[in-house]
Structures are given as C-alpha cells and as structure tokens.
C-alpha cells in the first residue's frame, strides 16, 4: 500500500481549516480502511505566512491527531512556493506519492481514490482536470480558456483545465526537486518531467467559506510568470517584426524613389520616410538579435535537467585487458 501524503497550502484560511481538516481526515481514514493508503500516510498543511489563526489551528490539530502535520513558512511566499515546500517535505518524509489540494476543497476529494488507483497502475503523475467551467464567472472562464490557448500557441505544454490538483509519485517528486528555478509555475514544470501520466476528471465546487486568496493582481502576475518562465517566443516575435519592417522599408524605398523620380513627391519626403522605416526596422532587428542571446542566457540560468533516465539496462561486461600503463 502506498504511503500517501496530502499537501495543502494555506494562506489566511482560519474560516475553512477546521472543516477541511475534518473532511480530509475522514477521507484519509477511509483510504486506510479500504487498503488504498498505508497507515503511515499523512496530511501536511503549509502555512504560507498567514496573518490570522491558521498556524495555531494547524498546530493544535497536529497535537491531537497523528495524521496531521504542518509546515510554517516565515513569510508569505505565494501559493506555488508554499505548495513546493509541502511537496519537498513529503519527499523528505519518503512518501510514495503526494496529492496537492487547495485548503478550500473546491476540488472534489472523492476522486482521490481514482488518483491512487492510477498511481498503483504505474502512473507517476496524475492530473486532476475540471470537466467544465460552468461554475466560474464569465470573466474567469473566458480569460482562463483564452490563456490556455495562448500558452499552446507559444509552445508551452500545459494541461487544459488543470490547476494544481494532482498526484505525484516519489520519482516525479525527485525530478521536481531538480528544477531550481525561482519563478515557479508548477503546472508548466510537471509536464516537463516526463514519466507515465494520466488524467482524472472532476467537478469543481465553490468555496464553502472565506474568500479567494487569489485577487486579480496576483492572478495576472501568475499568468505573466507562466508565459515568461516557459516561452521565449515573445523575443522571437520581436526579431520577426524587425525583419518584416526592414523588408517593408526596402519596398517603401523603391516606392519613394519612383515617386521622387516622377516628381510627384514633396521635397524631403522620400528621404525622411525611407530613413524612418529603415531605422525603425533596424532597431527592431537589433533588439531581436539581443533578445535571441537573452533567450539563451535565460535557458542557461534555469539549469533545468537536460534529460531524465527512466530505466537503465546494462549487462555487466567483461573487464577489459587493455593495459592502461602503455598509454602515454
Ligand atoms: N494560497 C497560498 N498562498 C497565497 C495565496 C493562496 O498558500 O499567497 C493558497 C490558499 O490558501 C488556497 C490555495 O492557495 O489553499 C488556492 O487559493 P484560493 O482558493 O484562494 O484561489 P482560487 O481558488 O480562488 O483561485
Ligand atoms: Mg479556491
């Protein structure tokens, strides 16, 4: 039976925590009873520098209940960092798999059984995918769907309608720990890990208490982070615009020259218009070239792992009788 860890980032969640703990506790106990999770399974609540009673609630419950654990971050580092700290704690505790959930339990916890079944079947990553967005406001639904499409266009591999409700096996967690980047966008990193993965579909509910900890400002920052941490296409677009305008300026130059020769142009117009277009294009082109190098530096500084070996088969070979001493 796998040792399952639930990881729950919490920021100012005093209103939901007692109920969330109750529901998750009974879920975990039923998984243990049904023989789907090991007795050593745990729930880890990460307090992301909350200003309310979140931490005192977590610590009080952890004293009474051995299945409950907590991690307190020194200050508010945001959902993604809080989640990562919880996942890395689960990895250090040698869990077999970790399931990340939001503290408001908007994501249906009844599908956890399916997550674990898929893990037992050999999946290292199981993505929770919303089967519809009917409960979202029109604004949230259209911006979110537009965003997924835009990311696809930029060549970023993210799972449509999947947020951070997912299961990761210990191998996937080890792999995740190799990604050293600071601007975290986990739903972009996880698909890069590889290994066998699958999806579980579920209905997302509304928050049962408290309000969203993701105001529009944080959401926009997160969306921009997602694009700029995974794609250098915007830089390539600058280069392409530069090339296009330079080419256009040549056409413009010919047109201006012809107008000038035919005497239909006002004096000084041809030379002005040609230089404006050409210099504009040249500047864009140069920024694009600088951007190409910046894009490479950006790729290098991330120090992402270049490959991941999933399996290795090497049949022990005979020791070589080549005499190394004869080598100069
Ligand atoms: N959260 C966090 N740190 C933050 C903001 C949010 O740990 O700075 C947690 C929050 O407690 C919740 C999860 O991230 O468990 C998702 O937040 P929320 O439900 O408010 O987002 P929404 O569902 O409205 O997008
Ligand atoms: Mg929520």
Question: Is the CB of 11 within 6 Å of ligand 1?
Answer: yes
Question: Nearest ligand to the C-alpha of residue 17?
Answer: 1
- Gap between the Cα atoms of 50 and 75, Å rounded: 8
CATH 3.40.50.720 fits 4-212+306-320, yes or no: no
pLDDT at residue number 177:
94
pLDDT-based confidence at 214, cuts 50/70/90? confident
- Indicate whether 322 pLDDT > 80: no
State the average pLDDT over residues 227-236: 88
State the average pLDDT over residues 265-291: 83
Beta-carbon neighbours within 5 Å of ion ligand 2: 102, 104, 106
- Indicate whether 134 pLDDT > 90: no
What does the DSSP assignment read for 110-152? GGHHHHHHHHHTT-SEEEEEES--TTS-HHHHHHHHHHHHHHH
- Indicate whether 155 pLDDT > 80: yes
Question: Is the CB of 128 within 6 Å of ligand 1?
Answer: no
- Indicate whether 234 pLDDT > 80: yes
Specify the 3-state DSSP secondary structure of 168.
strand
- Indicate whether 97 pLDDT > 70: yes
pLDDT at residue number 213:
87
pLDDT-based confidence at 41, cuts 50/70/90? very high
Average pLDDT, the chain: 89
- Gap between the Cα atoms of 274 and 277, Å rounded: 5
pLDDT at residue number 310:
66
Q: Which residue has the higher pLDDT, 96 or 255?
A: 96
Question: Is the CB of 76 within 6 Å of ligand 1?
Answer: yes
Contact between 98 and 87 under an 8 Å Cβ cutoff? The reply is yes
- Indicate whether 313 pLDDT > 80: no
- Gap between the Cα atoms of 212 and 13, Å rounded: 10
State in Å: Cα 166 to ligand 2 middle. Answer: 15
State in Å: Cα 100 to ligand 1 middle. Answer: 12
pLDDT-based confidence at 20, cuts 50/70/90? very high
- The dihedral formed by the CA atoms of 77, 83, 88 and 91, expressed in degrees to the nearest 10: 170
- Indicate whether 251 pLDDT > 90: no
pLDDT tens track for 162-178: 999 999 999 999 999 99
Least confident of 87-101, 114-128, 224-238: 224-238
CB < 8 Å & 24+ apart, contacts of 30-39:
31/4, 31/112, 31/113, 31/116, 34/113, 35/1, 36/1, 36/2, 36/4, 36/113, 36/116, 36/117, 37/1, 37/2, 37/3, 37/4, 37/116, 38/1, 38/2, 38/3, 38/4, 38/96
Question: Nearest ligand to the C-alpha of residue 101?
Answer: 1
Question: Is the CB of 82 within 6 Å of ligand 1?
Answer: yes
State the average pLDDT over residues 206-218: 87
Q: Whose CA is nearest to atom 13 of ligand 1?
A: 102
């Amino acid at each position: 039976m796998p040792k399952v860890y639930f990881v729950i980032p919490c920021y100012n969640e005093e209103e939901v925590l007692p109920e969330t703990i109750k529901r998750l506790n009974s879920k975990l106990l039923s998984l243990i009873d049904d023989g789907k999770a090991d007795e050593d399974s745990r729930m880890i609540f990460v307090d992301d520098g909350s200003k309310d009673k979140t931490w005192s609630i977590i610590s009080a419950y952890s004293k009474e209940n051995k299945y409950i654990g907590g991690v307190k971050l020194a200050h508010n580092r945001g959902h993604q960092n809080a989640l990562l700290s919880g996942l890395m704690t689960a990895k250090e505790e040698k869990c077999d798999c970790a399931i990340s959930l939001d503290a408001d339990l908007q994501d249906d916890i009844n599908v956890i059984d399916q997550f674990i079944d898929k893990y037992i079947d050999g999946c290292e990553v199981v993505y929770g995918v919303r089967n519809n967005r009917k409960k979202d406001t029109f604004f949230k639904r259209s911006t979110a769907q537009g965003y997924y499409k835009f990311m696809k266009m930029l060549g970023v591999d993210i799972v449509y309608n999947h947020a951070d409700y997912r299961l990761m096996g210990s191998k996937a967690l080890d792999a995740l720990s190799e990604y050293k980047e600071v601007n975290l966008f986990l739903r972009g990193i996880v698909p890069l890990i590889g290994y066998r993965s699958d999806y579980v579909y579920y209905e997302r509910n509304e928050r049962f208490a408290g309000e969203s900890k993701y105001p529009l400002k944080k959401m926009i920052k997160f969306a921009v982070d997602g694009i700029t941490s995974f794609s250098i296409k915007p830089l390539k677009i600058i280069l392409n615009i530069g090339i296009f305008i330079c080419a256009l300026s040549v056409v413009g130059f010919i047109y201006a020259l012809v107008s000038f020769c035919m005497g239909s142009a006002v004096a000084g117009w041809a030379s002005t218009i040609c230089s404006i277009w050409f210099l504009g294009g040249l500047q864009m082109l140069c920024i694009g070239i600088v951007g190409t190098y910046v894009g490479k530096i950006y790729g290098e500084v991330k120090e992402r792992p270049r490959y991941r070996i999933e399996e290795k088969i090497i049949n022990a070979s005979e020791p070589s009788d080549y005499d190394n001493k004869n080598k100069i």
